[in-house]
Amino acid sequence: MTAQIIDGKLMAQQLREQLAQKVAELPTVPHLAVILVGNDEASIIYDRNKQKAAEAIGMKCTIHHLDEQTPQDQLLDLIKQLNSDSSVNGIIVQMPLPKHLNSEQIIESIDHTKDVDGFGIYNIGLLHSNNSSAMVAATPQAVLYMLQQTLGDVVGKHAVIIGRSNIVGRPLASLLLNHHCTVTIAHSKTVNLSQITASADIVVAACGVAGLVKKDWVKPGATVIDVGINRVNGKLCGDVDFENVKEVASYITPVPGGVGPMTVTMLLNNTLQAYLEQNQREQNA
Ligand code: NAD
């Protein structure tokens, strides 16, 4: 068996076309504010990509690029100003922040209705209590969307997620549980990981260990989603041994060209959601 490749680039392009149509019909332009502190090269590239993607579907995206030494208070002041600016619909702070800054306090200072990264505790609480108004982090949403597009639905499937971070593993576990999967979360201290993944209908690798998931870790016919982004000898690769795992899986995502492009698209989708909900609230007020 050779797996069918789940083409994240194509899926993202199709979804972005749908988003562009919706944005074109709005009376005003949704606006995403991105805060970038310092000069981390990868972060600068990520944020430029977000801006390009937003502008390509007719959204506005402003990058607030602050000095590496920016003090906590100055950053909090900027967020306060963006929170009260009604022309701004979504706010994200690019992580990781320089070490002198308190990321938790920064994230919690973002108005939860503008928290389009879904990293704040309020939105996490909504997600964990299966409340549909939760703003859900983009990567878990991208994974769910790709699974639904590929499998139809995920009801009753056993999903094993490798990784328990706050931005991928944990919110994804809640999201899949809310969609009636049976969910196992594995992590760096999990014993017999390969046996656990071999029992899964869906394996999601989100651990940042290049090529960790091997062919004999995967049940024949399973679906494999690779969230990992690693650089080995200058080349991008995921957490799955793609060339060999694709011989046993039914469906598999590549790296690059899998979850990555879908993640940016889901961030834009969240910005549109935030815009619509803010406008609805204004009309009801
Ligand atoms: P993280 O470092 O915060 O968390 C990694 C998790 O993997 C931890 O919970 C850890 O317990 C687990 N882990 C580490 N080694 C393991 C091992 N040998 N066996 C089992 N579990 C192990 O990372 P993160 O922010 O969740 O990101 C994970 C990966 O996904 C990274 O490669 C990151 O670059 C990538 N990522 C991709 C996207 C995207 O859009 N494609 C978005 C976010 C993160």
Closest CA to 95 of 156, 139, 159: 139
- The tally of domains found in the chain comes to 2
Domain stops at, among 111, 127, 150: 111
CB atoms within 10 A of CB 173: 21
Query: Are residues 218 and 154 part of one domain?
Result: yes
Q: Does the pLDDT value for residue 214 go beyond 90?
A: yes
Please indicate, yes or no, if residue 10 is contained in any of the structural domains.
no
Ligand 1 binding pocket, CB closer than 6 Å: 139, 162-165, 167-169, 186-188, 190, 193, 206-209, 212, 227-230, 259-260, 263
Cα–Cα distance measured from residue 151 to residue 18, given in angstroms and rounded to the nearest whole number: 21
* CATH number where 76 lies: 3.40.50.10860
Query: Are residues 96 and 142 part of one domain?
Result: no
Read off the pTM. 0.97
Per-residue pLDDT averaged across 241-269, rounded? 97
* CATH number where 182 lies: 3.40.50.720
Percent of the chain surpassing pLDDT 90: 99
Could you report the per-residue pLDDT of 111-133, keeping only the tens digit for each? 999 999 999 999 999 999 999 99
Cα–Cα distance measured from residue 3 to residue 16, given in angstroms and rounded to the nearest whole number: 26
Residues 6 or more apart from 181 whose CB is under 8 A from it? 154, 155, 156, 157, 158, 159, 202
How much is the pLDDT for 137?
A: 98
How much is the pLDDT for 1?
A: 76
Q: What residues are annotated to the active site?
A: 50, 94, 117
Query: Are residues 158 and 93 part of one domain?
Result: no
Query: Are residues 171 and 100 part of one domain?
Result: no
How much is the pLDDT for 166?
A: 96
Q: Does the pLDDT value for residue 274 go beyond 80?
A: yes
Could you report the per-residue pLDDT of 141-176, keeping only the tens digit for each? 999 999 999 999 999 999 999 999 999 999 999 999
Query: Are residues 250 and 163 part of one domain?
Result: yes
Could you report the per-residue pLDDT of 27-76, keeping only the tens digit for each? 999 999 999 999 999 999 999 999 999 999 999 999 999 999 999 999 99
Query: Are residues 75 and 166 part of one domain?
Result: no
Cα–Cα distance measured from residue 140 to residue 176, given in angstroms and rounded to the nearest whole number: 9
In angstroms, what is the span from residue 206 Cα to ligand 1's centroid?
4
Please indicate, yes or no, if residue 128 is contained in any of the structural domains.
no
Per-residue pLDDT averaged across 166-191, rounded? 98
How much is the pLDDT for 29?
A: 98
Please indicate, yes or no, if residue 132 is contained in any of the structural domains.
no
Full domain range(s) for residue 46: 27-111
